[in-house]
Amino acid sequence: MTPPDMDFVKLPKTDLHVHLEGTLEPEMLFRLARRNRVPLPWRDPENLHEACKFRDLAGFLAIYYKGCEVLVTGEDFYDLTRAYLERAAADGVVHTEIFFNPQVFRGRGTPLAAIMEGVLSAIRDMRDRISCLYMGTVMRTRPVEEALQALEELAPWYSEIAAFGMGGAERGNPPLHFRRYFDACRERGFRTCVHAGEEGPADYVREALSLPVDRIDHGNAAAEDPALLRILAERRIPLTMCPISNLRLKVVPDLAAHPLKRMLEQRLCVTVNSDDPAYFLGYASDNWAAVCRALRLTRAEILQLALNGVEASFLSDERKAALRQEVIAALPAPPDRDPARRGI
């Protein structure tokens, strides 16, 4: 069983599904609002915390996009990125891959160069403390032509971008509507991923695989389709699952009902991630601790999840090999208690 005294902060881990805008803590949000003279509908950070009791994805996104309004200057984006990376490093995250969508901010007059340099400068400045890859993403609620335009606008920074994805409200916005965008991403040599099967059906996960993509973000609904689970297992398509996010957005009624353990038992490459930790009140270690308690994960399952995170990353094979050794050293398998098997 899970060791009762396990400190998940000390576990070297990845966080592969985290939205940079979703790391904006209420205190920083209010500080930036004052700096940029942006009015807010909440009285104070505590009032915002109260507002973060969401009924569904739509309710969350309304607050999420309102919070984005305080991010105005390149300095704001630097401060946000650095704050997340410092917190993740202190939380035992050795490698993270952050989604960031400049589309959200392009209509406010902030130059794209200022936004991108703010984010990427913070990643560079923190590289000695934490490994981080940048992933571009677009909103599925906007036309595919806009997604293609966003892809082109990021061309000056291609050398510092690892992958492109797509997020936003799933219902009525299936992955296949964005085939041209994903084709264009692959033609430019990028890895690809897509949010599917969070609030959308298992069919959206199937569509994502037909694009094809390298990784599925969330993927919960696949648990309802045994044939699809077999495909995911055979192809080792990673699922970047976000347990606390799923709980807060009512994707699952409680964490004991989360499909992660069942998928892990069926040899899928499932991983544990934080999604939008400032709004869902749970960073990487919080997600690990919560899901391990709720699903009663064993030490072997914890090790496999940590190794899955390394496998699912967009790092080089050489860097993955080094991280695997780091994980194994931190979480060795328990000694075999069978004297016969030990040769005694």
> What tokens appear for 153 in the block?
């606008």
Dist CA 119 CA 220 (whole Å): 30
Residues in the chain with pLDDT < 50? 1, 336-344
What's the pLDDT score for residue 5?
A: 65
Can you spell out the DSSP letters for 258-314?
-THHHHHHTT--EEE--BSHHHHT--HHHHHHHHHHHHT--HHHHHHHHHHHHHHS-
Long-range contacts of 233-237 (CB under 8 A, 24+ apart): 233/266, 233/267, 233/268, 235/209, 236/269, 236/311, 237/209, 237/213, 237/269
pLDDT score, position 344: 27
Nearest to 97 by CA among 237, 275, 325: 275
Number of other CB atoms surrounding residue 74 within 10 Å: 18
Does residue 53 sit in helix, strand or coil? coil
pTM: 0.93
State residue 64's pLDDT score: 86
Query: Domains in the chain, ordered, with CATH?
Result: 8-330 (3.20.20.140)
Q: Angle 56-289-124 (CA atoms, 0-180°, nearest 5)?
A: 85
Annotated catalytic sites, by residue?
198
pLDDT of 22: 94
Could you tell me which residues come within 8 angstroms of residue 328 by beta carbon, excluding any fewer than 6 positions away?
A: 303, 307
What is the sign of the dihedral through the CA atoms of 190, 227, 244 and 305?
negative
Distances (CA, A) of 334 to 2, 12, 230, 328, 331: 11, 18, 30, 11, 9
